[in-house]
Amino acid sequence: MSKRGGRGGVMVGLMAGLLLGGPTLFAGQVTGKYIGNGKAANLTHAVVMPHDPWKDQPAYVIVLSEKDPATSKNPDTDAMFGKLGDALTVTVTKSGDIFGTQVCHQALKKAGFSTTGSLFVEGFKIEAGSLSGRFFTRKTEEFFGDTWEVDVTVKAALPAGK
């Protein structure tokens, strides 16, 4: 069953190990595609950060990025402003409801925008200290003349104690 929410975009990538500096970030992996205006992104980093609860549920921000966010104090904000290269952030509840997405593909004229209802999730799980799922758009999306699409699979460790 698909769940609606934010927005999306991502390409092939893989990263493992703990990231150091700034807040404690937990590395993971991302595979799939993230395309903006016909240009594929190369997302190689996936980190999960805690978020304030949403509708009485624990929530998380998943940051998928081209550049390593290890030294970033605010990876989600840095992603939005292009400091991590091509990026996508997804804000999701523990049950898999997407309630925020930032499309930060550098090939877009309006990179760093928020959207709702464009991104879906399948197979979302939180188990054994990790978060995983497939995040995707059902079609190529348009935003003020820019086009983007995403179909990525993510697996990343949860913040300790979360």
Q: What is the pLDDT of residues 45-93, one digit of tens each?
A: 999 999 999 999 999 999 999 998 888 899 999 999 999 999 999 999 9
On the CB side of 36, CA atoms within 13 Å amount to: 25
3-class SS string, the chain: CCEEECCCCECCCCCCCEECCCCCEEEEEEEEEEEECCEECCCCEEEEEEEEEECCEEEEEEEEECCCCCCCCCHHHHHHCCCCCCEEEEEEECCCCEEEEEEECCCCCCCCEECCCCEEEEEEEEECCEEEEEEECCCCEEECCEEEEEEEEEEEECCCCC
Give CA separation, 46 vs 65, 110, 139, in Å.
7, 23, 23
The token pair that represents 78 in the structure block: 């840095």
Other Cβ atoms less than 10 A from the Cβ of 127: the count is: 8
Q: What is the pLDDT of residues 106-121, one digit of tens each?
A: 999 988 899 988 999 9
Q: Looking at the predicted structure, is the pLDDT value of residue 13 above 70?
A: no
CA 101 from chain centre, in angstroms, equals 7
pTM of the model: 0.82
pLDDT band at 18 (very low <50, low <70, confident <90, very high): very low
The token pair that represents 85 in the structure block: 């290269």
Q: Looking at the predicted structure, is the pLDDT value of residue 19 above 70?
A: no
